[in-house]
Amino acid sequence: MRILDQKLFYYVVALVAYVLASQNQCTFSYARCKRQRFLSDDCGVSGKWMNQLNSTMELCCYKGNLFGKYNSAVGRAEDYYHLRGRYTVRGGDCILGWSIAYNNAAFGNSNSSSSWAGIHYADEGIIYTQWLLARYQQREHFWRAFHTNQDTFKRIC
C-alpha cells in the first residue's frame, strides 16, 4: 500500500508541476525534468533551445541520457516530436547526440527520421550540431533518401 501512496504522490506533484509550468513556457522543461525526478542538470543543456530556422527543442539530461521534444519550423510540423539521445561531459563541455522519428499526433508517420551530433561549450550557451535526415524512398531513388547539414541551437530558457 505504501508504494501505491508514493506513486499517487508523484502523480499529483507531476500534475501540479505541469499546470504551473504550462503558464510559463520557459520553466516547462525544468518542471518536466523534475516531474520525471531528473533533478540534476549534469550535462549543462537542460532547457529550451532554438536554432537558426526557429525550430525549438526542450532537453532534459540525466546520467548520460537525453530526453525531450523537438518542433521543426521547416515544413508543416504542428506538434512536437519525442527525442532521445546520449551525452558525455568533458571539462564542463557536453558532447551529445539525439534522434527523432517524424511521427506525431498531428501528422502521423512521416516515414523519416533525423539525428544530430554536437558539442555544447559550457562558457558559450550554444550547441553546434551536424544532422542527418533519412526519409523513405523507393529503391531506385535510394540516392535521394539522405540529407545533411548543420544547426546552431541557442538557449532561450
Judgement on whether residues 43 and 29 belong to the same structural domain of the protein:
no
Judgement on whether residues 19 and 85 belong to the same structural domain of the protein:
no
DSSP reduced 3-state for 12: helix
Whether pLDDT at 138 is above 80: yes
Write down the pLDDT at residue 23.
35
Judgement on whether residues 131 and 70 belong to the same structural domain of the protein:
yes
Whether pLDDT at 16 is above 50: no
Mean pLDDT of the chain: 79
Percent of the chain that is helix, strand, coil (3-state, to 5)? 25, 45, 30
Domain range for 148? 38-155
Distance CA 140, CA 152 (A): 34
Judgement on whether residues 111 and 144 belong to the same structural domain of the protein:
yes
Write down the pLDDT at residue 106.
63
Judgement on whether residues 52 and 127 belong to the same structural domain of the protein:
yes
Judgement on whether residues 107 and 139 belong to the same structural domain of the protein:
yes
Distance CA 75, CA 91 (A): 37
Share of the chain above pLDDT 90, in %: 48
CATH number, domain of 73, equals 2.40.128.30
Distance of CA 29 to the CA centre of its chain: 10
Cβ atoms of residues 146 and 130 within 8 Å: no
Distance CA 126, CA 50 (A): 10
pLDDT band (50, 70, 90) for residue 24: very low
More confident site: 152 or 11? 152
- pLDDT tens, residue by residue, 48-107: 999 999 999 999 888 899 999 998 888 666 678 899 999 999 999 999 999 998 876 666
Judgement on whether residues 6 and 44 belong to the same structural domain of the protein:
no
Question: In the chain, where does DSSP find H-type helix?
Answer: 2-22, 28-35
More confident site: 9 or 97? 97
Judgement on whether residues 75 and 6 belong to the same structural domain of the protein:
no
**Domain total in the chain:** 2
Strand partners, 67: 60, 84
